Every structure is written in C-alpha cells, then in structure tokens.
Amino acid sequence: MSVHRSRKVRVSVLKKSTKDKIVTVIYHIFVMGIGISMVYPLIWMVFSSFKPTNSIFATATQLFPDQFTLDNYINGWKGIGRTPFSQFFANTFFVCIIATLGTVASCAMVAYSFARLRYRLRGPLFALVLLTMMLPGEILMIPQYLWYNKLSWVNTYLPLTVPLFFATSGFFIYQMKNFIDGIPEALDESARIDGCSFYGIFFRIIIPLIKPSLATVTIFSFLNNWNNYMGALLYLRRTEKYTISLALKLFCDPTSQSDYGAMFAMATLSLIPIFIIFATMQRYLTQGIATSGLKG
C-alpha cells in the first residue's frame, strides 16, 4: 500500500515538474518574442546604416544588406555644410556634462534639506516639488522662451544648462530623498557630536552613502539631455551650435534628396555613449532604482 502511494506521489511530482518546465519555456519564448519586437527597429536601423542610401527603403523588409558599405559613415561624419558631425558631438557632450552636473548637485542638496533639515513650510514645499512632476512641460515652453529671449539667452547654451542648477526635476529630488531617508539618522547625530555642521554631514556622510542614487540620477539626466530635441529646437539657431538630436534632422530635406543612410549611420554612432554609460554603471543603476539605502 505504501509502495503504491509512493509511486503516485512520484508520478504527480514528475507531472508537476514537467508542467512547470513547459510553462517556463513558453514564458521565456513569449518574453523573448516581445523583446525582439521592441529591439528590431533599432537593429534594422543599425544594419540599414551599412546599406547604400538608394537601397534602404527598396529593401526595407530585408534586414541584412546585400552589399556592405561604409560610405554612410564617411558622408555623415563630414556633417552638414561646413560643420563636421564631430562638432555636433562636442556640443552635445558639453551641454550634457554641464546640465548633468547641475542636476545632480542641486537635486542632491534639495533632497538632503527635505530629508534631514527641519524648518517651517518644509512639507508644503515638498508637496509643490511633487506637483511639478504633474505639470506638462509644454505649458512652460512659451513663458520660458519669452523670459530667456528677454535675457538674450536665445542661440546660446544657457537655457539648456543654467536652469538645471536650480533643482528643476521633482522626480530626481523625490528619488534622492527616499534614498537618504533609508540612512540611519544616528550617523548624523554622531557626526554632529564630533563637530560636523550640516554641510560637513552632507559632504562627508550623505554623499558617500548615496552613490547608487547619484549614479541613477546621473544616467537618467545625461540621457534626458542627450535626447533633448525640443530644447535645442527652441533655443539654438546657428547650425554650428546644434546638438546631435537636432543635427540628425538636417539629413532629411523634404524639398530635395534626403540622405537617410548618413542619418542612420550618425544615429547609430550617437547610441554608443549611452550604451557605454549603461554598461559601466549598470550595478549602481539597479541599486539606485531600488532606493534601499541603509536600514537602521
């Protein structure tokens, strides 16, 4: 009787194991299919950058080119008019580095004040910061443009960099504040007993402990500024000041022939810095999104 029952148990366990394996395989196939469908346009663009320009859309359903060519990269790197594409890369790196430094520094200080300092109207001010996350950016375009035009900032990089030194991103402030909240306040009290001021606590204790959060903000801020097409379109007028996102559209000319091959080639090159950043800072990115901090 016990032998018969043990056989039944083994058979049921085997059936359950087989069923779990089948479900796992189906799940992975489904997720892989979704992933491929999402990445396919990017893969198509990369392979199309190696096709002759006149055959890109003629062979749009064909992923691999019949004839590999580097002419698109050569022509695209020459740029537009007298401006090489390397100038657009330099402009973009300049804007992104300055804007990212301003975002990280200002948002870290504001987040620290909301998380650790005690002052009147702290709650309402933090609520206002959160409300800015719900405000569409399109509402501010016209008043901001009129303001920057009065300041003679149009056709300069000032509108793309200076405002970010004033903690304009509510999401980054919220993310950093949550991370700081996870750090035990006993560390602050110990440092205060040793004679540290609020600034000393911020630079010597808080900053080293929120490196994952800082890395997350750095990545997303750099990415946002790298892809900032609307800001460059509004405030940059001279071609030699264009960033990559704005320069790519110069290869498309509806009144004459468009060089889609060069555009795809330069778009492919513009993805390399983003991939490098994600590859080198992926560990910090995961920790920063979790906003776990230290547990008391």
Q: Which of 196, 194, 198, 195 is nearest to 116 (CA)?
A: 198
Give every residue of the chain whose pLDDT is below 70, as ranges: 1-16, 254-256, 284-296
d(C-alpha 196, C-alpha 244), whole Å: 45
* pLDDT computed for residue 153 by the predictor: 93
DSSP assigned state of 63: S
pLDDT at res. 287: 63
Using a CB cutoff of 8 Å and minimum separation of 24, what contacts does 228-232 make? 228/95, 228/160, 230/137, 230/141, 231/159, 231/160, 232/160
Task: Identify the three-state secondary structure at position 243.
Answer: coil
Question: For residue 229, what are the CA distances in angstroms to 81, 103, 133, 233, 235?
Answer: 21, 18, 20, 6, 10
- Please give the Cα distance from 5 to 12 (Å, whole number): 11
99: region left, alpha or beta (phi > 0 left; psi from -120 to 50 alpha): alpha
Which among 210, 200, 232, 234 has a CA at the least distance from the CA of 288? 210
Q: How many Å from the N-terminal Cα to the C-terminal Cα in the chain?
A: 56
Is 80 in a helix, a strand, or coil? strand
> Model confidence over 170-187: pLDDT tens digits?
899 998 998 888 888 888
Per-residue model confidence (pLDDT) at position 101: 95
Q: In whole angstroms, how large is the CA radius of gyration of the chain?
A: 26
Domain ranges of the chain: 2-70, 74-290
- The answer to whether 266 and 76 are in contact (CB under 8 A) is yes
Is residue 72 within 8 Å of residue 48, measured between CB atoms?
no
pLDDT the model gives residue 39:
87
Q: What is the pLDDT of residues 145-176, one digit of tens each?
A: 999 999 999 999 999 999 999 988 889 999 89
Angle at 33 between CA 32 and CA 35, to 5 degrees: 60
Three-class DSSP category at 76? helix
The CATH topology of domain 74-290 is MetI-like fold (1.10.3720)
